[in-house]
Amino acid sequence: MIHPRNIIISPIITEKSSNQVQNENTYSFKVSSNANKIEIKKAIERIFAVKVLAVNTIRYKGKPKSLGKYNGKRPDWKKAIVTLREGDKIADFEV
């Protein structure tokens, strides 16, 4: 099994995600690109000791970028939106 800290890369803290925390009890995380929903759910439950009700994932393609004559692209990444049980909270997201 992959270690939970290798699956969950970082929390995504934006104005939109803060509103979702307050209104819908959902949290956003940047996760490993090859992690599935079951692994993400188990990792969140182990790291933060909460009960996860649902996990939605979104894959983002990296944008092409150029700097002078050099061309490249930003990396692809994956976002997970996690819904928690009523009453459960993750302290790192509280403002």
* Domains along the chain with CATH numbers: 4-85 (3.30.70.330)
Encode pLDDT of 49-93 as tens digits.
Answer: 999 999 999 999 999 999 999 999 999 999 999 999 999 998 877
Encode pLDDT of 17-38 as tens digits.
Answer: 989 988 999 999 999 999 999 9
pTM for this model (two decimals): 0.88
Tokens for 14?
């934006």
List the Cα angle 77/10/67 in 5-degree steps.
50
Whether residue 45 contacts residue 70, with contact meaning beta carbons closer than 8 Å, is answered with no
Q: Is 83 helix (H, G, I), strand (E, B) or coil?
A: strand
